[in-house]
Amino acid sequence: MPIASLVPLLPFAVTLPSPGLDGTPVVDARQVDDGWDAQVGALGFADREASAGALAVGAVAAATADHDDINAHFHVRGVAATGGSVSLNAGGVSRISATHWAHASYDFLPTADGDGTGVFAMSLEHHLDVGAVPSLFASRDTARAGFEREQLGFDVTGVSFFWQGNRLDILDEGGAFATTWSDETPSEIELGLHATMVRYCGTWCMDVFQIRAQGGGEIAGAAGGVVMDLTPLALRNLHASDDVAIDLAGGFQLGGGARRDDMGALIDLPDLALGAYDVGLRAGKVGVRAHRQMYLTLDDQLSVEDRVEGSIDLSTDDTNIALRGFAARTTWWTDAQDPGSTALTGGGELAIAREDRGFAWDASLGVARSFYASADGAPSLGARGTLEIRRSLRGSGRR
């Protein structure tokens, strides 16, 4: 996988951090190669309230260090990588948009015989987005167009065992700290944690006793909302046949705590408990997923979302074409006495990508009833289109 493909030149479609903030690394260190690459591109963006044209420059660099065949059973691989992009906009979204990420890790990987053991594999990541705009598909939150977000996350795996293409991890845990702000809103703080007692991966994967937690507001002080998610068992990539795979996960979530209003007064949040699920099906070029998730918004309001997502791969030999859609029912509470507000959202997007004479072309057009179709955050119907043309200055980035 070329490291250049890890660099998004278009920082417009940023999913907000609330659901799933836990520190799990975004960059897969096993897919990073030594070397560097740079890309230049032009891009355009338009929806019903804003538009922008931009020139963008992106770059990525990575270095790896391998110590092979330690005790003839495993080798240690260290990775240091960084990348990002900057675009200068000629429109009304933001004068400058930028994204940056940095990754550092070491891991114990199996040698050619497929067997090995490792302890305390670690990774650390930093992400920064400036002038970002949420995706139309993003869950309900409070940050609007042109927000800034910084996140620092880590992950540690206690013991890993490798044998004949299988991997067993004992006690994988991590966390993340994120700050989000904009010109219109003050800084909002989030903290996420996760822990998995046992994780097995071969031709299919299994997580046993997974805990996730999300907190916001004055976490160490008198106010702060909290959501905890306990999943006793999660199964992924179970093959019912050669081209049919299933993901299954179920558990429960707890939410509550308190928050401060605009005047600084302490407000109790409702105490919520509900069953959670995540079910996915992939059959050939069609994928469907349904899940329920409780999460905190950036201003510490509790939200519960039931969402169904689907995708169809319509690609040809030389063009990648994807049709994606979603439908969601979101309920949220501002305090313990609030009976709750509910909104239905949904929409679809057509995305096309191809390479031609050294240039990469990416285009998308989405229409949705979304929390991000208008600046005030009320669910409404909107459309958004993007077009990006970029060229790599160094090819694949491989040596």
pLDDT tens figures, 136-181: 898 998 787 778 889 899 999 998 888 887 889 999 999 998 888 8
Can you tell me the mean pLDDT for 292-312? 92
Q: What are phi and psi of 241, to 5 degrees?
A: -155, -170
pLDDT tens figures, 200-258: 999 999 999 999 998 876 554 556 788 999 999 999 999 988 899 999 999 999 999 88
Q: What mean pLDDT is reported for the chain?
A: 83
Residue with tokens 């000629």: 90
pLDDT tens figures, 344-359: 999 999 999 998 888 8
Q: Does 197 have pLDDT greater than 70?
A: yes
What the chain holds in terms of domains, given with CATH numbers, is 3-392 (2.40.160)
3-class secondary-structure state, position 390:
strand
What whole-number percentage of the chain has pLDDT above 90? Answer: 38
Q: What is the pLDDT of residue 216?
A: 78
The pTM for the full model equals: 0.86
How buried is residue 64: exposed, middle or buried, by Cβ count under 10 Å (0-12/13-18/19+)? middle
Confidence band, pLDDT 50/70/90 cuts, at residue 338: very high
Q: What is the pLDDT of residue 6?
A: 39
Q: What is the pLDDT of residue 101?
A: 85
pLDDT tens figures, 358-388: 888 999 999 999 998 887 888 999 999 988 8
The answer to whether 382 and 374 are in contact (CB under 8 A) is: yes
Can you tell me the mean pLDDT for 52-66? 79
Residue with tokens 């032009």: 42
Q: What is the pLDDT of residue 173?
A: 92
- Other C-beta atoms lying within 10 Å of the C-beta of residue 282: 18
